[in-house]
Amino acid sequence: MRLHFLALLKQMNEQRLIHWKKDRTNRAYLNQLRGQDYYSTFRELTLTFERVWYGNYHPPADEYKTIRSQFEAYRANLQNVVAV
């Protein structure tokens, strides 16, 4: 799960949708995206990541596949987004 989230942050930084820094929190990235069309989905993915990573939640295989496909679909949709 962490790798999916980090890959998403990396892509968003490369597309200049966020400004990544080592010491920034997930909330800081959410604040950077507030008001953008793609904010709400990123917020949901962030909440899912935090529930799994920090909440020590281990989703069953079928739920993990669903979460993984949500991350992949979001990353694919971001390919067409141009930074404002």
Digit-coded pLDDT (tens) for 32-51 = 999 999 999 999 999 999 99
pTM score: 0.91
32: which 2 tokens?
């950077």
Would you place residue 82 in the very low, low, confident or very high pLDDT band (cuts 50, 70, 90)? confident
Q: What percent of the chain has pLDDT over 90?
A: 90
**Helix (H, G, I), strand (E, B), or coil: what is residue 15?**
coil
**51-54 LR contacts (CB < 8 Å, sep 24+):** 52/1, 53/1, 53/2, 53/5
Q: What is the mean pLDDT of residues 56-84?
A: 92
